[in-house]
Amino acid sequence: MEINGYEIAYSEAELDKMLNEQMLPVVLIDEQFEGYQKLQEGDKKALKHLVAAAKIMNEVSQEQDHHMNIVQRKALEKATISSSYAAKALKLFMSLNGVEGLNGLDAEPVEIFKGISGLPGRNFYPVDLTVGEFHKIIQKMLEDGKVDEVRKILSARTMVRRDGEVLKAIDYTEYFAKEFSAIANELEVAAHYTTDEKFKDYLGWQAQALIQNNEDMDMLADKHWAVLQDSELEFTLSRECYDDAITPSVFENSALMALLNRYNIEVNSKDMLGIRVGIVNKQGTELLLKFKDLMKELAAKMPFAERYEQNINKSDELKQTMVDADLAALTGDYAQCRGGITTAQNLPNNDKLSIKTGGGRRNVYHRQVRMSVDKEKNRKLLERLVAPELHRYFDPETDHLFVIGHENGHSLGPDSKYQTGLGQYKHIIEEHKADIVSMAFMPEYVKAGVIDDETLKKIYVTHVVYRLFGKAKPQLSLPHRVAELIELNYLLENKAISFDEDMKLHIDFERFPQVMRQLLEDTVEIQLSMSPQKAKEFIERYSVWSDVSQKIAAVHAELGVKPYKDIKMFF
């Protein structure tokens, strides 16, 4: 079947399999949800306008992601009226939130239409722009004195297009003027209705940031957002930069980098946008705050703590808020379920002005995402790959505790200057570091009485089974997956875990925390070295896809993996 001149790449039967056997629903809250019922009328109204804003942002992200997304989606929507085949293709499209994407299993991306592939520069850059040409143009523009334009081209908030022989940058607030102004309107209305003064204030700043071509406005919005701890509602405009592969290619061109440094031009990958809307869950948030209380103590226990300044120590007050949220909407970048869906997110990232100027971070945990698990599959996985005496320690709820430790882990260790020093490897090493901070410090939470010994064992077992049992050899573009493979290999090499002749997992509960500590030291040392070469060597050494990984992946494949998500929104 052809959609807008492009043939659907999967047969209807193949789509049936993907949708019926390989897709996991992620069910967000509806109007019957207790937390919603308890809201005051004003906040109920506000929530609906925030969800409306979220839906508009989805259009923005589809445009950022691929130049064919919107035209193909519209054609699919039209074809759906008379074709169940098209309806199925549309469902896959909505899961990827685009025409293509990795599914976390196969090395090659899932491409819904024959002849439409993803591009390294997504739609941030001209579709026919190669890395080589990009570098040449940037170099030429600098030589011609177009320093300000180059600065804009290499900024996180512009779409780049051809302008004759050179390139021009269009600020998001201009390129997406129509959508941003509609979103700003929804935010203003929500601000009018909400009963929460601080939240109202933040929404006002955020609305302004969407209509002014001014990075300072983003900074101010971020700062008002990051301090929200006691609000009833949750709203986040997410800006993350992991999708654009053209901008960071500049880091590998040392001559060009030298030139950019001379002009003091920062290189920041493009931000993919998304919106999350929800209601803060009070009980879940209390647990998070218990973990938070320990962070200062943990900072002092970081390896080589005396050699660097940690983000967390930059002011007396710990500038990190955190909430557990019941979700009403996930759109844009959040809904690009390409090999996974995020269970928590700590923003702003280090490249953002609000962080550089001393602003705090806010971490939001996604209850409905972490509750969407495939129980039957987990049971079979234990039977096949885990020694029987460990089964009682498998508890997916404890993965949440690992995630809390991971997110807090980003605030510990060498600050952003060191992280950036690792060039293109910074994301992998930073995600890896956060994983290891989490695991290495779990015994500290036992000492502090936040969790008990039994829970600690559950965290170890669940972590290995849930996170380290990889489903496929990870691409370097998936930092979290690479980090997990590194951890698996390190634990095996140092005998904290092992597999017997029946391919059943065993854990040495004595060695496990010691090896984690050692791994944390090795990792922090790499960040302190600021050497991309050292990072590369470490990653290459420990991200080997061994026989063990291959066997684990084979079991996953046999039991059936559900790499696709179906986010069900009701507002």
> Quick one: 100 or 431, whose CB is closer to Zn ion?
431
Tokens of 499: 């597999």
Taking the C-alpha atoms of residue 566 and residue 95, their distance in angstroms, rounded to an integer, is: 6
Taking the C-alpha atoms of residue 464 and residue 461, their distance in angstroms, rounded to an integer, is: 5
Which region among 117-125, 318-326, 357-365, 426-434 touches Zn ion (by CB under 5 A)?
426-434
Does position 221 interact with Zn ion (CB under 5 A)? The reply is: no
Does position 434 interact with Zn ion (CB under 5 A)? The reply is: yes
Taking the C-alpha atoms of residue 139 and residue 166, their distance in angstroms, rounded to an integer, is: 10
Minimum CB–partner distance for residue 435 and Zn ion (Å): 8
Which region among 280-288, 369-377, 425-433, 554-562 touches Zn ion (by CB under 5 A)?
425-433
Taking the C-alpha atoms of residue 3 and residue 5, their distance in angstroms, rounded to an integer, is: 5
Burial classification of residue 144, based on how many CB atoms lie within 10 Å of its CB (0-12 exposed, 13-18 middle, 19 or more buried): exposed
| Cβ within 8 Å of residue 420, ≥6 positions away | 350, 426
Minimum CB–partner distance for residue 432 and Zn ion (Å): 9
Strands lying side by side in the sheet with 272-281: 233-240, 272-281, 320-332, 361-366, 344-347
Tokens of 50: 């925030």
Minimum CB–partner distance for residue 122 and Zn ion (Å): 21
Which region among 204-212, 247-255, 351-359, 431-439 touches Zn ion (by CB under 5 A)?
431-439
**Coil, strand, or helix at residue 478?**
coil
Which region among 143-151, 432-440, 481-489, 516-524 touches Zn ion (by CB under 5 A)?
432-440
DSSP annotation of 306 reads G
> Quick one: 63 or 431, whose CB is closer to Zn ion?
431
Minimum CB–partner distance for residue 274 and Zn ion (Å): 16
> Quick one: 249 or 543, whose CB is closer to Zn ion?
543
Binding-residue total with Zn ion (CB under 5 A): 2
HSE, side-chain direction, 13 A CA sphere, residue 352:
23
Which region among 121-129, 131-139, 381-389, 424-432 touches Zn ion (by CB under 5 A)?
424-432
Radius of gyration of the chain from Cα atoms?
23
Minimum CB–partner distance for residue 128 and Zn ion (Å): 34
Which region among 296-304, 430-438, 500-508, 511-519 touches Zn ion (by CB under 5 A)?
430-438
> Quick one: 287 or 434, whose CB is closer to Zn ion?
434
> Quick one: 410 or 457, whose CB is closer to Zn ion?
410
> Quick one: 1 or 476, whose CB is closer to Zn ion?
476
The residues in 237-266 that bind Zn ion, with binding defined as CB under 5 A, are: none
Beta strand 166-171 with 158-163 is: antiparallel
Q: 310 pairs with which residues across the strands?
A: 414
> Quick one: 73 or 463, whose CB is closer to Zn ion?
463
* Phi/psi of residue 115, nearest 5 degrees: 90, 0
Minimum CB–partner distance for residue 407 and Zn ion (Å): 7
Minimum CB–partner distance for residue 439 and Zn ion (Å): 13
CB–CB of 390/505 below 8 Å?
yes
> Quick one: 327 or 434, whose CB is closer to Zn ion?
434
Omega within 30 of 0 (cis) for the link into 348? yes
Minimum CB–partner distance for residue 538 and Zn ion (Å): 18
Residue number of the CB closest to Zn ion reads 434
Minimum CB–partner distance for residue 186 and Zn ion (Å): 29
| Cβ within 8 Å of residue 461, ≥6 positions away | 386, 390, 393, 394, 507
Write out the residues near Zn ion by the rule CB under 5 A. 431, 434
